[in-house]
Chains A and B, each alone.
Chain A
Amino acid sequence: MSTIKFTNAHVIDPVAGTVSQRDLYVADGHIVDTVANPDEIVDCGGKYLAPGIVDIGVKVAEPGERHKESYKSAGAAAAAGGVTTIVTRPDTNPPIDTPEALEFIRRRAADAVGVNVLHMAALTKGRLGQEMTEIGFLQDAGAVAFTDGDNVISNTKILSRALTYAKSLDALCMLHPQEPILSAGAAVTSGKFASLRGLPAVSPMAERMGIDRDIAMIEMTGAKVHFDQITTARALPALERAKANGLDVTAGTSIHHLTLNEFDFADYRSFFKVKPPLRSEDDRLATIQAVASGLIDIISSMHTPQDEESKRLPFEEAAAGAVALETLLPAALRLVHGNYLDLPALFRALSLNPATRMGLPCGRVDLGAPADLIVFDADIPFVLDRKSLRSKSKNTPFDGQRMQGKVLSTYVAGRKVFAQ
């Protein structure tokens, strides 16, 4: 294997919480102390060198809807976006709820040339919330976590059994904190703007109800749980208490809830329809604050490809979700440019924490860690053209928006998988 010296770089170290101008050496796909005669010298031109992003909760539409996103297109989008590891969601059609289905997508994932791909499996069969999946077999087949995605398991008996069983295997479960009946049919968050637009809306309180119930379940079962998206201020005290009480919980949020708010759908622009719906500005700021303080551990893209036909519908009928693999970093840099977060804190949430939660050695620039690295310019401005995205689906809410920051090159295990 070749050796590389990255020089003239500002290295972002999320473990130490520092940005320092230094060289970084790679040998045999790992970060090493030093290399005498490197095969390749990469001059980073004074730009940033950071651990690659670990994105939990990416939807690749295989099987079932390969025209929306294949492993090949998702891999290309990830590499271009500085995402070196994607952890896929099982909410495909059919869902990934058997070891056989998991083996199929593991074969398909070989198409995602370059980037690391890991998979989550469903927690209940068919994601229907009625019977638990073969958690043990799925774990043996490589599932790194278990989730029904945004289908909330409303039957608490089933959920408690699934969590208890998962606990015995030390399996991580990912839950979607939401009261499912209150939020059924909602397209937006309730408020005066939603009232004026006449759209079915849900109170932000539905998230707090969901997290309160789920935390009680975690207390009861001792399960290891990650909340996929916390997006409201009112859910945060419950999360804080759960962590203070020593429960094995972590929480994530989506990049869209950190950078957009409830007014952005304006005249019914369905690219702004996501699940849960975009929140008030107060909630957005509280969520950013929670990321800065470390209460929310992880920022994910919640990449959800939808084709034109699913989005070119009246807002209520349009499918939810947005693609975000390529826009995750420039959108997240808005938080840095706005002085809400510093770069090490951002990469704790994008790289270190998700890797740690998934039990992966990547996401850091420590000696011995895999050389999953990105070189990026944090300031370069551009106007996003959705047609330029590598994802097969182009449903981004950032179309036409001014953004700052671009990935210049991406390395996975010391191999260059993307360069501008």
Chain B
Amino acid sequence: MSFTQRHLLGIEPLRPDAITEILDVAENYVALNRQLTKHSNALAGLTQINMFFENSTRTQASFELAGKRLGADVMNMAMQASSIKKGETLIDTALTLNAMHPDLLVVRHPHSGAVDLLAQKVNCAVLNAGDGKHEHPTQALLDALTIRRAKGRLHRLNIAICGDIAHSRVARSNLILLGKMENRVRLVGPPTLMPSQISELGVEVYHDMRQGLQDVDVVMMLRLQRERMDGGFIPSEREYYHRYGLDAEKLSYAKPDAIVMHPGPMNRGVEIDGDIADDINRSVIQEQVEMGVAVRMAAMDLLARNMRNAQSGAQLGGQA
């Protein structure tokens, strides 16, 4: 066992062999998910609660499906509509839910670090489904699995992450993961959408997309997070599309077999040309969604194994 964590809060604490283990387990679930009967009992008897303090359709559906296919009892809580509006703090909400004895908490929150804070206060496994601008570990893992399947390896690749890096937890988790697995990571985007001093984290920064895409194996596009903009990061959507939108001409600078990725939901005609997104020879965007369910099944399966190991360890300790 390489993945020994109690929670999955981010990519940062994971060792490379733990990342590989999650991806290996996920491969089995890719196969399972393609069968007509998709059930496993890895999480049988366990309760999974999805707490989303921020809107999500895709990630929440993916986690829900992953839990159900593994036999967990899954409950979704739309937190925006509930007690937070009544003034209850995050910690109180966590303690209340904790008292109901869930085994897995899947949490998304608009503030960086909120999921870490919550994990300190509960005694079940916590999965970070995205916290503010910090991390989104399962997205990075599903991207890694997609790349590994398409490219046959997850090391020594040139990978460009393009667009709104500053507001993106997906970019942070990805650059950490891809760096740990010994790839060359480039960040491409306008300087107003780059986090400060990001080049000190072992990535190359490009403001010219054609240069940034030169000879890369993977082009990872990010959504332009319009809802996060507190004003004036880019002159206009059309200028952004002209300079940083992925079209066939810009893609031609990448390697001929380079794949195109996007975490969704896409803004067609803003950051990506619709034809590229739909090009089955280049785009792996649909596969990313498929890998998402498998990776989340793997992560929850491994967390449940760690939980059971810890429990049997405690029982053995008690007997001795």
Interface residues of A (CB under 8 A from B): 185, 190-192, 194-199, 201, 203, 267-268, 309, 312-317
Contact = CB atoms under 8 A, between A and B. Distances in A.
Contacts of A190: 196-197
Contact of A191 (B91, B109, B114, B196): B196
A183 to B, nearest CB: 14
Contact of B113 (A195, A201, A268): A268
17 contacts: A185-B230, A192-B197, A192-B198, A192-B200, A194-B196, A195-B195, A195-B196, A195-B201, A196-B172, A198-B112, A198-B134, A198-B169, A268-B113, A313-B89, A313-B91, A314-B109, A314-B117
B197 A191 contact: yes
Nearest to A268: B113
Interface string B38-68: 0000000000000000000000000000000
A66 B129 CA distance: 39
Contact of A309 (B12, B89, B109, B201): B89
Contact of B132 (A185, A198, A201): A198
Given A196-B172, A197-B134, A198-B133, A315 B111 contact: yes
B193 interface: no
Nearest to B176: A196
B112 A315 contact: yes
A202 to B, nearest CB: 10
Interface string B128-151: 000111110000000000000000
A57 B89 CA distance: 30
Nearest to A188: B112
Contact of A317 (B111, B169, B201): B111
Contact of B112 (A185, A313, A314): A314
Nearest to B198: A195
Interface in B154-174: 169, 172
A233 B165 CA distance: 29
B266 interface: no
Contacts of A192: 196-198, 200-201
A162 to B, nearest CB: 30
B116 A316 contact: no
B134 A314 contact: no
Nearest to A265: B113
A261 to B, nearest CB: 15
B90 interface: yes
Interface residues of B, number: 25
Contacts of B200: 192
Interface in B193-227: 195-198, 200-201
A193 B117 CA distance: 18
Nearest to B118: A314
B196 A201 contact: yes
Given A312-B91, A315-B111, A315-B113, 4 more contacts: A185-B230, A192-B201, A195-B195, A314-B114
Contacts of B112: 197-199, 268, 314-316
A317 B12 CA distance: 23
Nearest to B111: A314
B147 to A, nearest CB: 22
Contacts of A194: 195-196
A195 B117 contact: no
Contacts of A312: 89, 91, 117
Nearest to A308: B91
Nearest to A309: B89
A203 B196 CA distance: 9
A158 B256 CA distance: 63
Contacts of A317: 111
Contact of A268 (B89, B117, B172): B117
A301 to B, nearest CB: 26
A314 B116 CA distance: 9
A314 B90 contact: yes
Contacts of B109: 314
Nearest to A199: B112
A415 to B, nearest CB: 44
B91, B109, B113, B116 — which one has the most chain A CB atoms within 10 A of its CB? B113
A314 B119 CA distance: 12
A316 B90 CA distance: 13
B117 A199 contact: no
A268 B134 CA distance: 11
Contacts of B89: 309, 312-313
A128 to B, nearest CB: 23
A192 B200 CA distance: 7
Contacts of B90: 313-314
Contact of A198 (B172, B197, B201, B230): B172
Contacts of B134: 197-199
Interface string B169-201: 100100000000000000000000001111011
Interface in B94-115: 109, 111-114
A281 B35 CA distance: 56
Nearest to A189: B196
B246 to A, nearest CB: 24
Nearest to B112: A198
Contacts of A197: 112-113, 134
